[in-house]
Structure 1
């Protein structure tokens, strides 16, 4: 079906969009050559006195107008952040790099200029976080129908995240999907729900945030590549991961109890790590002391036995002498720590017996404390 140039037609010029749906951000339509020439002639007539045109001047004006129309009709400017996608009679034929490029005027060729270097941002579960003009209290609006997700352990979690994406293949981006931004948003929400549904709630809230972001980005890219969307997912950022507002206080109490449990377990483990080596060291010390005492007793017993055998050998050689020497040594040990007076009865009667009367006069006091 040919592209219609009427306002009610089905082509892009008439607002239809062709077999791929509405054109996503295509440039404005080029004016007809006859219309440009007619408007130029009307302006020249208004500027000339009497409204007439001379022959040479008319020819010069026509040449200028044709040159301008040729320049602007056959060239297109592509900005540094853009890539020109040339359509000839509605069919994609080539790409134009940044700068001034030649192309046939409309309706032969038409150029789309998607911004291939711009990083686009899509918010899931919230709205308005990037609007700096809004008041801080109303900057972010929660969207629970997007953010509430079910985890693998049958808990509900409120997840807000942002997706940064870029055009990877301009031709595929323009012609393979009808609503690129909506497609990226739907794929992002679906991928995040799948990743959250395969995980427990506690890792998602704590140490598994980076892992969740990476898994969601990988799944989104795989899905969009299967669609041929021509989109590159640059990054997925989790903004808020919390339980629902209705149960967040109870959940925080549970988390605090778990934190206390973990802290007490760590303290008990630290105490065990300290007391067990001390107990092992004390047990080893006792064993070493017992071993030393055993060796000491055995050595003393062997020494006593050896000494007894040596004395016995001497006793067999001279029993009387040995017996007398043992008696003297024994008496020496017994009497060495006592007070004693030795009187030799063979010394005669010159020794006067001594009776310590003063010692006897020192009597202990009576129970009443009075001397007797």
Structure 2
């Protein structure tokens, strides 16, 4: 029998689902139930049975308005502003999407994550370390590092904690540099060079780690020995200062003595050169005189020989104040006090000055002539006998 065949006493068609007198579900009734539930949620009431069609239309419009408002609110939530000193790293579903520049931007909320990073603000980190120097001394160094974020993408994504990595890298760099430096340089004039070396090494470490950090400046704020040995280090520093002072005094003394010694040495060299030239000139003059005298001697040997003898005697007498004369053929020696004779001659001359060399030479010649005469007379007397 077909599902719509008449049956029963009331001649109603049979329900093919076996529902007896119940018919198929009513759509209006279903919409009415939904409307009542929404009305309960928003504080409204369902309409009467006669307003079923109008209630269904109102409920559909309300749902559309709610959906439109939700979409509008979601879209408005996606707008944001990036300042001039900032950059933004956009992650879409947790994966890197793009790096946003300054200005008004929009990204779908709940889908994209926007991380703003200030790339112009100078950050600083400082720490204090106790370490060994190259000459195996212990020093305490306090250092500060100033840095900026140069690459926001690497800063956000490549390293989990860039600041901690920076501090660890800085500690490693300062230990490496101080370990290659002597203690006196760490404590005194070598601090600037240490800061420059640490900055170079630290930047190399950060670039290798891809932290996106650029080191702008490194300062060695303080370097000192540990407090337990401060007194000993003070004594060492005082000794170095004394050493430097003594070096300066020695250098000042040398600056005064060395030029004077060089001047004396130069004077001695010049005097020696002058003496050399004088000796050479005298030797050349004597050689020239001897050559000329040899020429004259060859012309008149006897006269020249006599002249040379007289000149020699004259030179000896001129430099002698006393003369001892041995008379030939006699046993006596004649003593001629030329100095006394010169004094008598000077006193007898009523205030005359002492005899000069020429007068003394003339006197010696007269004495020699007289001796020759006396010797000749004595020879004549011996011959007559």
* Fold shared by both chains (TM-score > 0.5): yes
Look at both structures and tell me which one has the larger radius of gyration over its CA atoms.
2
Mapping of residues 58-137 of structure 1, within 5 Å: 69=73, 72-105=76-109, 107-125=110-128
Mapping of residues 270-309 of structure 1, within 5 Å: 271=254, 273-274=258-259, 277-278=262-263, 280-306=265-291, 308-309=293-294
Distance 1:177 1:297 in 2: 97
Deviation at 1:62, TM superposition (A): 8.0
Change (3 A) 1:155 1:190: same
Match of 2:224 among 237, 242, 245: 242
Give the number of the structure with larger relative contact order, counting CA–CA contacts within 8 Å between residues 6 or more apart.
Answer: 1
Mapping of residues 126-275 of structure 1, within 5 Å: 147-265=129-247, 267-268=249-250, 271=254, 273-274=258-259
Deviation at 1:290, TM superposition (A): 3.0
1:114 aligned counterpart, secondary structure = strand
Gaps of 5+ in 2: 1-41, 43-61, 318-356, 364-385
Deviation at 1:158, TM superposition (A): 1.6
Distance 1:337 1:265 in 2: 68
Deviation at 1:334, TM superposition (A): 4.3
Distance 2:261 2:234 in 1: 36
Distance 2:196 2:234 in 1: 26
Matched, 1:312 2:297: yes
Deviation at 1:150, TM superposition (A): 1.2
Change (3 A) 1:265 1:307: farther
The structure where helix makes up a greater share of residues is 2
**1:133-167 superposed Cα distances (whole Å, 9 cap, x missing partner):** xxxxxxxxxxxxxx322112111112111101111
Is this contact kept in 1: 2:75–2:108, CA < 8 A? no
Change (3 A) 1:215 1:88: same
Gaps of 5+ in 1: 1-40, 42-57, 126-146, 339-372
Distance 1:334 1:311 in 2: 28
Length-normalised TM-score, structure 2: 0.56
